[in-house]
C-alpha cells in the first residue's frame, strides 16, 4: 500500500492547490480527516477524484451508540472510499454496527465496501495521559493489544496504531489484518504533537501495513520530492 498523505487542509481549494504539485497521473492515496470533510462535505471527495487517481482514507473516527454509528456508516459506505475508521473503545457492538453500515451503504451505491479500521490509542496518547487522564490502568501497549484483538473479533479489517505497537499486534491477529500507522516522521523531522513516532523504514521493519504522513509532506518546500523520499524509505 502506498504511503497515505494526510490532507489536513481547511478548504478544498487549498487541498487542490497542494495536489496540483503532483503529476495528474501519479497514483496517490490520501487521508481526508475531520477538518476538510466537515468544512467541505462529501462532495469534496468526488471533486478530488474527478481528475486524479486517488484512493481515499476517510478518517472520521466514528464513536457513538451502535445505531447512530451504523446509520453514519451507511452514508460513508455510499461514498466509495477505500478505508474509514471507528474508535475501538466504542466496543464490539459499535464496531459490528459500523461494519454492517459500510456493507449496506456500499450495496446501495453499487461500490466496493470500505475496509474498516479501528482506532486503538491515538499516537498523541502518552503513558501518563492513558493512566492519569483517561483512567485506564496498565501500559499503552497492553491497551493497544487488547483493542486490536477486540477489533478483529468484531469484524474490523484492521487497526490504526503506532508502528511501535505493530509487532505486538501482529502476534494477536491474522496475517491479513491491517495495521495502519500514523506518527511517521523522517529522520530529524519535527515531532509536533505526536508522542509514539517512527521513521518510514522503521515502520516497515516493524510490520506496518501502511503509513500515514502529513506535515512532513504537506508543509515541505517541495512536497513531491518529500513524498518520493518517504516512498523510497517505505519501500
Catalytic residue among 20, 25, 55, 59: 59
For all residues of the chain together, what is the average pLDDT?
A: 92
* Residue 195 predicted with pLDDT over 80: no
Closest CA to 120 of 87, 96, 95: 87
| Cα torsion 47, 156, 192, 220: sign | negative
* Strand 115-119 to 158-160 pairing: parallel
Most confident option among 180-189, 190-199, 208-217: 208-217
Mean pLDDT, residues 15-36: 94
- In CATH, what is the architecture of 4-234? Alpha-Beta Barrel (3.20)
* Residue 194 predicted with pLDDT over 80: no
Mean pLDDT, residues 72-83: 97
Tell me how far apart the alpha carbons of residues 127 and 116 are, in angstroms, rounded to a whole number: 26
- Residue recorded with cell 480527516: 33
Residue 124 C-alpha cell reads as: 498523541
Which residues are bridge partners to 115 per DSSP?
83
- The reported pLDDT for the residue numbered 150 is 97
Record the pTM: 0.91
pLDDT digits (tens, 9 = 90+) for 178-193: 999 998 977 655 545 4
52 labeled binding residue: no
- Does residue 173 sit in helix, strand or coil? coil
Mean pLDDT, residues 167-183: 94
| Residues near 214 by beta carbon (within 8 Å), at least 6 away in sequence | 5, 6, 8, 31, 182
- The reported pLDDT for the residue numbered 100 is 98
Contact 163, 211 (CB under 8 A): yes
**DSSP character at residue 184:** B
Mean pLDDT, residues 186-213: 78
- Catalytic residue list contains 176: no
Mark residue 101 as left, alpha or beta (left: phi above 0; alpha: psi -120 to 50; beta: remaining).
Answer: alpha
123 labeled binding residue: yes
- The reported pLDDT for the residue numbered 188 is 55
215 labeled binding residue: yes
pLDDT digits (tens, 9 = 90+) for 87-135: 999 999 999 999 999 999 999 999 999 999 999 988 788 899 999 999 9
- The reported pLDDT for the residue numbered 53 is 81
- The reported pLDDT for the residue numbered 187 is 64
66 labeled binding residue: yes
Contact 17, 44 (CB under 8 A): no
Domain ranges of the chain: 4-234
Catalytic residue among 25, 55, 61, 132: 61
Catalytic residue among 55, 64, 115, 201: 64
Tell me how far apart the alpha carbons of residues 114 and 61 are, in angstroms, rounded to a whole number: 14
* Residue 49 predicted with pLDDT over 70: yes
pLDDT digits (tens, 9 = 90+) for 32-47: 999 999 999 998 898 8
State the pLDDT confidence band at 196, using cuts at 50, 70 and 90: low
Mean pLDDT, residues 139-143: 92
In angstroms, how far is CA 230 from the centroid of its own chain? 17
Amino acid at each position: 500500500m502506498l504511503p497515505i498523505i494526510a490532507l489536513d487542509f481547511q478548504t478544498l481549494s487549498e487541498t487542490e492547490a497542494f495536489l496540483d504539485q503532483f503529476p495528474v497521473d501519479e497514483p496517490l492515496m490520501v487521508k481526508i480527516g475531520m477538518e476538510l470533510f466537515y468544512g467541505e462535505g462529501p462532495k469534496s471527495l468526488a471533486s478530488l477524484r474527478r481528475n486524479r487517481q486517488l484512493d481515499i482514507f476517510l478518517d472520521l473516527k466514528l464513536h457513538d451508540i451502535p445505531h447512530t454509528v451504523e446509520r453514519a456508516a451507511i452514508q460513508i459506505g455510499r461514498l466509495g472510499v477505500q478505508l474509514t475508521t471507528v474508535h475501538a473503545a466504542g466496543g464490539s457492538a459499535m464496531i459490528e454496527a459500523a461494519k454492517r453500515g459500510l456493507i449496506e451503504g456500499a450495496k446501495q451505491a453499487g461500490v466496493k465496501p470500505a475496509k474498516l479500521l479501528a482506532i486503538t490509542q491515538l499516537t498523541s496518547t502518552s503513558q501518563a495521559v492513558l493512566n492519569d487522564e483517561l483512567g485506564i490502568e496498565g501500559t499503552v501497549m497492553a491497551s493497544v493489544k487488547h483493542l486490536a484483538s477486540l477489533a478483529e473479533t468484531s469484524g474490523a479489517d484492521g487497526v490504526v496504531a503506532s508502528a511501535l505497537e505493530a509487532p505486538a499486534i501482529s502476534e494477536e491477529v491474522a496475517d491479513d489484518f491491517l495495521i495502519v500507522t500514523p506518527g511517521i516522521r523522517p529522520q530529524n523531522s519535527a515531532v509536533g504533537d505526536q508522542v509514539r513516532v517512527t521513521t518510514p523504514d522503521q515502520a516497515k521493519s516493524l510490520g506496518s501495513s501502511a503509513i500515514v504522513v502529513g506535515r512532513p509532506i504537506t508543509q515541505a518546500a517541495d512536497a513531491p520530492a518529500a513524498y518520493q523520499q518517504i516512498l523510497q524509505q517505505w519501500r
